[in-house]
């Protein structure tokens, strides 16, 4: 088994139970440490449990109930956002928060407390979870909410799947009149221009920027700022299957500064890339889902992602320094994303977002050279009171983790003793 970053392939004892009762039997049975895994879209090792057991939940994808009048539902935690949207969008509903791919399960969205393009206004996914069903390895089945087993609820939201088996998730939806969004794309001259445009776009619910991370000097941070809001008309057509099929595995020599500069120039200057338009939610929220297994484009050695958040007021200068470092190293990323995060608190004690700026950079795995660059970026984040995103991480040091997540001991206190992961063992070690 591997993660989405494809950095390693490790042996696991894997089960894919078809029903919740079957999953409960697996959880209750003695054996090696266990971890539940959804669709494996975590980039690093939070979804890996080498030489241990993995309970893959993708077959546990049924609705338990759906109230289309109130916009509420309860579904098994293995249900994907993809499957959920196919049901609710034609009926005029959408998720209040969605990550950058719909190919994640509800349980994975809770365990990683994912965020989206509307974090400034809506907070994280966990902020909209009303209740959870959790099975512990002792056989105890619990209902968790802000009012019921509240401490365990806080440890489970963003708790990386370590507090037990999330059986079901209860959510409140948001109404939509159309499956389309009115969008506006603006050019960004540099990092300062990004912060100016982002501040002027506070009345747009969805915002995100793509930056050319190989740009230097006065062009540092140039890119495109995209903002959107739900359209009032346009129908409720649901998304289609991936448009471009299965991605090839590219040879490593193609992933270099020259090809990345060419890609960045084409993307930045593509026809009709700027201005206002109305578009379907699928390419706006989930552009990478158009290409199945796009992670293969980084070659057989896989890739790393650095995603950090740095709080204000240090965020602006810190983003500049990280982009300067990346450009100087020539290890740029096709997919460099910059966004502001808001101050809406998450119910989870191990949630990633904080008020500030988040920068996400993908790097083809070039071995020790790439690891040194990631360490340099991490040092910059740590020095400015920021943190890295566990769902994307493969290199975070224990010191970095503990500094960024002082609530980790709360999760450890509530961790089911039968559960573990490669990530948790890596960042907590003997301290756990």
SS (H, E, C) 72-131: EEEEECCCEHHHHHHHHHHHCEECCCCCCCCCCEHHHHHHCCCCCCCHHHHCCHHHHEEE
- CATH at residue 303: 3.30.70.2520
Residue 342 lies in a domain: yes
For residue 256, the model assigns a pLDDT of 67
Structure confidence at residue 432 as a pLDDT band (50, 70, 90):
very low
Residue 152 lies in a domain: no
Tally the domains of the chain.
1
Residue 423 lies in a domain: no
Residue 169 lies in a domain: no
What's the pLDDT tens digit per position in 93-132? 999 999 999 999 999 999 999 999 999 999 999 999 999 9
CA distance 424 to 421: 5
Residue 246 lies in a domain: yes
CA distance 110 to 334: 28
In the predicted model, what is the mean pLDDT of residues 299-315? 96
Residue 160 lies in a domain: no
Residue 147 lies in a domain: no
Residue 252 lies in a domain: yes
Cβ partners under 8 Å of residue 341, min gap 6? 115, 119, 120, 309, 353, 354, 355, 356, 357, 358
Structure confidence at residue 200 as a pLDDT band (50, 70, 90):
very high
Share of the chain above pLDDT 90, in %: 86
Domain range enclosing 243:
180-396
Q: Is 299 helix (H, G, I), strand (E, B) or coil?
A: coil
What's the pLDDT tens digit per position in 242-298? 766 666 776 665 666 676 667 667 777 776 789 999 999 999 999 999 888 899 988
Assign 3-state DSSP to the chain and report helix, strand, coil percentages, each to 5: 35, 25, 45
Question: How many other CB atoms sit within 10 Å of the CB of residue 8?
Answer: 15
What's the pLDDT tens digit per position in 68-98? 999 999 999 999 999 999 999 999 999 999 9
In the predicted model, what is the mean pLDDT of residues 351-356? 98
Cβ partners under 8 Å of residue 171, min gap 6? 72, 73, 74, 75, 95, 96, 106, 128, 129, 130
- Identify the weakest region by mean pLDDT among 15-24, 157-166, 293-302, 312-321: 293-302
């Amino acid at each position: 088994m591997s993660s989405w970053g494809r950095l390693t392939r490790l042996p696991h004892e894997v089960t894919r139970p078809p029903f919740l009762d079957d999953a409960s039997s697996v959880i209750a049975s003695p054996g090696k440490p266990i971890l539940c895994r959804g669709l494996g879209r975590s980039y690093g090792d939070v979804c890996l449990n080498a030489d241990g057991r993995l309970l893959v939940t993708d077959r546990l994808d049924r609705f338990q109930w759906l109230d289309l009048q109130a916009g509420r539902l309860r579904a098994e935690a293995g249900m994907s956002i993809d499957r959920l949207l196919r049901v609710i969008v034609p009926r005029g509903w959408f998720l209040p928060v969605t990550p950058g791919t719909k190919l994640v399960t509800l349980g994975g969205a809770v365990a990683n407390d994912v965020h989206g393009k509307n974090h400034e206004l809506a907070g994280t996914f966990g902020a909209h979870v009303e209740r959870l069903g959790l099975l512990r390895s002792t056989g105890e089945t619990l209902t968790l909410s802000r009012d019921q087993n509240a401490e365990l609820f806080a440890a489970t939201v963003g708790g990386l799947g370590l507090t037990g088996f999330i059986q079901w998730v209860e959510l409140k939806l948001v109404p939509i009149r159309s499956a389309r969004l009115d969008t506006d794309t603006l050019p960004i001259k540099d990092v300062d221009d990004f912060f100016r445009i982002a501040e002027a776009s506070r009345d747009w619910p969805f915002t995100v920027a793509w930056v050319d991370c190989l740009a230097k000097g006065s062009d540092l941070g140039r890119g495109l700022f995209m903002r959107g809001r739900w359209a009032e008309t346009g129908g409720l057509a649901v998304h289609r299957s991936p448009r471009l099929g299965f991605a090839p595995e590219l040879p490593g020599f193609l992933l270099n500064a020259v090809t990345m500069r060419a890609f960045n120039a084409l993307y930045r200057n593509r026809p009709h890339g700027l201005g206002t338009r109305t578009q379907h939610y699928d390419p706006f929220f989930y552009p990478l889902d158009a290409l199945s297994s796009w992670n293969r484009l980084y070659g057989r050695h896989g890739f790393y992602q650095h995603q950090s958040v740095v709080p204000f007021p240090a965020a602006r200068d810190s983003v500049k320094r990280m982009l300067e470092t990346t450009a100087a190293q020539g290890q740029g990323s096709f997919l460099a994303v910059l966004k502001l995060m808001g101050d809406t608190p998450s119910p989870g004690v191990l949630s990633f977002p904080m008020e500030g700026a988040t920068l996400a950079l993908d790097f083809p795995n070039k071995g020790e050279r790439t690891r040194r660059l990631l360490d340099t970026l991490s040092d910059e984040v740590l020095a400015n009171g920021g943190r890295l995103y566990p769902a994307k991480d493969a290199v975070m040091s224990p010191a970095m983790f503990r500094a960024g997540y002082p609530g980790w001991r709360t999760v450890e206190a509530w961790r089911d003793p039968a559960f573990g992961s490669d990530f948790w063992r890596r960042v907590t070690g003997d301290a756990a």
